[in-house]
Amino acid sequence: MVGPLKKKNLGKRARRGKPIAQVAALPYRRAADGDTEILLLTSRQTGRFILPKGWPMKGRPDREAAAQEAGEEAGVVGTLHEQSVGSFHYWKRLKDTFVPITVKVYPLHVQQELDEWKEQKYRRRAWLKPDQAALLVDEPELAALLESIAPELAHF
């Protein structure tokens, strides 16, 4: 999803010290055994496991942008929580540089998994226990968030 930021402008913003933000959904559900499971998906280019995320959208609350990304990237629909449960940082790879990104995370209680969705042919989905999900992501701050949020998600 193209938001107010264009990829070519990210390097310029980073060099000027301007913050670069993204929003992410944290899709979760209750498994048959009652435990919480988190949905990760693969990135389009490198195949790493990630949360569905994207750029803030002009005129829309961040949480709505996160929900839209979850639908487009992961093919899930559900109830989004009002507040972010935290954030994490990562380095986004561009053509000739890396830029630092801060991602706000919004839990999404998944009620429906779509059989077909926009980015289906580019991504794989995996439902995992929070500790397993934490082991699969590359970003240490995201791993810590996934481990720490599990008890909280059980009460939403």
Mean pLDDT across the stretch 13-37? 85
Q: Which of 87, 21, 86 is nearest to 54 (CA)?
A: 21
Residue 147 pLDDT > 50, yes or no?
yes
Mean pLDDT across the stretch 13-26? 80
The CATH code of domain 19-153 reads: 3.90.79.10
3-class DSSP assignment, residue 49: strand
Q: How confident is the model at residue 3 (pLDDT cuts 50, 70, 90)?
A: very low
Spatial contact of 39 and 28, defined as CB atoms under 8 Å apart: yes
Mean pLDDT across the stretch 91-114? 90
Specify the DSSP class assigned to residue 53: E
- What is the distance of C-alpha 42 from the center of its chain? 11
pTM recorded for the entire structure: 0.87
Name the residue ranges covered by the structural domains of the chain.
19-153
Q: How confident is the model at residue 136 (pLDDT cuts 50, 70, 90)?
A: very high
Instruction: Return the higher-pLDDT residue of 130 and 13.
Output: 130
For residue range 27-46, what is the model confidence (pLDDT) as tens digits? 999 988 888 999 999 998 88
- What is the C-alpha separation between 13 and 21, in angstroms, rounded? 11
Q: Which of 133, 154, 136, 3 is nearest to 68 (CA)?
A: 3
Q: Hey, what are 116's tokens?
A: 């077909």
